[in-house]
Amino acid sequence: MEKVISSTLILSAALLISFSFPLNVDAQGGGQKMEKSSISNEPTYTILDPRSREPEVKYQGLNPRLDTLDGKKVMVVNLHGGNEEVMEALATDLQAAVPACNVEYYAVKGKWSNLEPEDWEKMLSGDAVILGHNY
Amino acid sequence: MPVVLESFEDEGINITAKQEFMREGVPMVRQVLTPQDTSLKKFPDDYTQKFVDALTTPLTDGEKKSGTHVPPTNEGILTTGTYDEISELLEGKLIGHSSIGPIAEMTDGLPVVPPTESRVAKMLKGTSHDPEEIMEFGNGFMGHGLHYATVKKVATNAVMAGCKPEYMPVVLAIAESGACVGYPGDSSFGHLYIVSGPMAKEIGMNSGFCYLAPGNPANMALQRAGTLMGINLAGTIFGINVLERTGPLHWGTIFAENEDTPWEDLNEHFGYDPDENILLSFSGKVQLLPFQNIEVKSGTSLHEVMMGTPDHAVAALKTLTNVNGALLTLTPDTARYWKEEYGFKTMADIQEYMYIHVTWKQEDWAKNYWIQILGRGKQETPFTSARNQADYQIDKRSSPTRLSKLPADADVPKFASPKAITVIVAGGTGNAWSWGGAFGRPMAYSIDKWR
């Protein structure tokens, strides 16, 4: 019994000492906005947004689609950098699927996202264009 | 003309692509998502019709729409709450790539110091710059689209990282460098920073024992500031617009040059005054390895092995597959030993020695993809920047005209210039050295301009 009383006294004393000092010294002493959460009695912080902003962007809708690929020239363009041979295979498959369409496969001359003027000229020479490199 | 984009059926790549489409002003680009399998010889048969449909199916109202995208300004107060509540908000609930775990939205994944108005105001005392001064992120070599951030936003992130106000000029220099943004794809792109000048000591940066290890408040907080600014100011989202398959060993690691050097300091080496403070920023594939990790050359005694000779360094640097640049760090004692024993009077002497001796065969140069296909090694000033005092020209001895005339088995310099090898003195008392590779030459930024 004495042991229990002794332990209880020590615990009570520890709690009393604890409550006589701020539990969150940083929040108390840091000049922060000190509101108490109504539920937990914890201090609250009003924090600033750390994120930047992006510029406004004017965007446009897509170009109209073709009614049919028959009689049209479709450029299948390999942009490099990945599994390039599938683009050439796609051109073959597309030609077989739409025989009345003129499919031209073209691998750009520019490397690593840089396009040469002749690449642009070639890409714009069709009625439609498929860009890719399976990556 | 109707356009269709073929792309991997990959969650992260597609989110990145959509972000890019919006920035380019065409948010609704039609895509055909193809199997993520680079061993394919051709797409499965049913994919051909998907391409036909993408070119011929009439546009939806959404696809026809034009307008102005107005992103959130993210100004002012984010929230009010308990520490746990704000931590939960900053961490967010972002799920990046489906193959990885959740990604924190506004932190590095760990709890941060709450960026209250008063703490941010205190941080801003570390610089004389106007809190509303705007910095641009995203115009550098690597970026995730253009973002605008004020000096105050930099201070906000510095608070979160645990920085002290006196760190602010360094934090702002890191911000000017573009912070830690990683790379949209690839494997191990990261960032490494070195501070040269008296400020390093003034703010308590570690340049001695364990300079790459945790423990030093300045090094650790500055590293974290670079990471947080990469996330919050430069738009880095791991698992979405950073899809590095492994990630790097050095993500914003920062340390100070040791002033106890027998040579000129790095600031002087790059043409600054001895009392000027600069930040050297490396980005790209950066690695710094302890010499123990590779048996570059057997010694006949422990002393010889531990010292590390120039021959050890040559052998180590020869193993680099990245030919764009190299890093060589020597402790002050090893630097003195190299100076006394090998006669290196300046850093430039070591650069020249390494340039001459770190060689590969001409045929390796002649068939190197990065040099021959992409032409990087042929450029007169790789990744040039007129503002960068650490920039360099390709050395005449490495010129394509000269190298192309040499026989296939000739030993030719592996690097484009002696200046592609950055020599750094750092570390504690005793002999040690480490080495590594860098994607390119460092960029030098003034820290003093941000005081």
Beta bridge partners of B281: B193, B443
The average pLDDT across A121-132 equals: 93
Mean pLDDT lowest for which of A20-29, B63-72, B378-387?
A20-29
How high is the pLDDT of residue B36? 81
Pick from B1, B22, B153: CB nearest A124? B1
The average pLDDT across B266-274 equals: 93
* B351 vs A20 pLDDT, higher one: B351
How many beta-carbon contacts under 8 Å exist across A and B? 242
C-alpha Rg value of chain B to the nearest Å = 24
The average pLDDT across B192-209 equals: 96
Do A63 and B1 count as a contact with CB atoms less than 8 A apart? yes
Residue B339 phi, psi (nearest 5): -70, -45
Q: Which of residues 73-112 of A touch B (CB under 8 A)?
A: 74, 82-83, 85-87, 89-90, 92-94, 96-98, 111-112
Please determine, for residue B48, whether its predicted confidence score (pLDDT) is greater than 70: yes
How high is the pLDDT of residue B139? 65
Domain ranges of chain A: 2-44, 73-132
Mean pLDDT lowest for which of A37-51, A84-98, B56-70, B195-209?
A37-51
The average pLDDT across B243-265 equals: 90
Reference B351, options B264, B410, B429, B426; nearest CA is B264
pLDDT tens sequence across B295-324: 555 667 766 666 678 888 898 899 887 778
Please determine, for residue A2, whether its predicted confidence score (pLDDT) is greater than 50: no
Do B118 and A31 count as a contact with CB atoms less than 8 A apart? yes
How high is the pLDDT of residue B95? 73
pLDDT tens sequence across B374-407: 555 554 444 556 677 777 778 899 888 899 899 9
The average pLDDT across B427-438 equals: 86
pTM of the model: 0.84
How high is the pLDDT of residue B58? 96
How high is the pLDDT of residue B351? 96
Q: Which of residues 131-190 of B touch A (CB under 8 A)?
A: 137, 145-149, 152-153, 156-157, 160
How high is the pLDDT of residue A111? 63
Q: If DSSP codes are grouped into helix, strand and coil, which group holds residue A128?
A: strand
Pick from A83, A93, A135: CB nearest B48? A93
How high is the pLDDT of residue B142? 65
Residue A108 carries which DSSP code? -
Share of residues in chain B with pLDDT > 70 (%): 90
Reference B448, options B196, B114, B222; nearest CA is B196
Please determine, for residue B110, whether its predicted confidence score (pLDDT) is greater than 70: yes
Domain ranges of chain B: 4-64, 83-284, 289-442
How high is the pLDDT of residue A81? 64
CA distance B71 to B146: 12
Going by pLDDT thresholds of 50, 70 and 90, the confidence category of residue B344 is very high
Q: Per residue, what are the HEC states of chain B?
A: CCEEEEEECCHHHHHHHHHHHHHCCCCCCEEEEECCCCCCCCCCCHHHHHHHHHHHCCCCHHHHCCEEECCCCCCCEEEEEEHHHHHHHHHCCEECCCCCCEECCCCCCCCCCCCEHHHHHHHHCCCCCCCCCEEEECCCCCCCCCEEEEHHHHHHHHHHHCCCHHHHHHHHHHHHCCCCCCCCCCCCCEEEEEEECCHHHHCCCCCCCCCCCCCCHHHHHHHHHHHHHHHHCCCCCECCCECCCCCCCCEEEEEECCCCCCCCCHHHHCCCCCCCCEEEEEEECCCCEEHHHCCCCCCCCHHHHHHCCHHHHHHHHHCCCCCCCEEEEECHHHHHHHHHHHCCCCHHHHHHHHHHHCEEEHHHHHCCHHHHHCCHHHCCCCCCCCCCCCCCCCCHHHCHHHHHCCCCCCEEECCCCHHHEEEEECCCCCCCEEEEECCCCCEEEECHHHC
**Cα dihedral sign, A96-A101-A105-A110:** negative
Please determine, for residue A14, whether its predicted confidence score (pLDDT) is greater than 50: no
Residue A53 phi, psi (nearest 5): -125, 155
Please determine, for residue A20, whether its predicted confidence score (pLDDT) is greater than 50: no
How high is the pLDDT of residue B303? 67
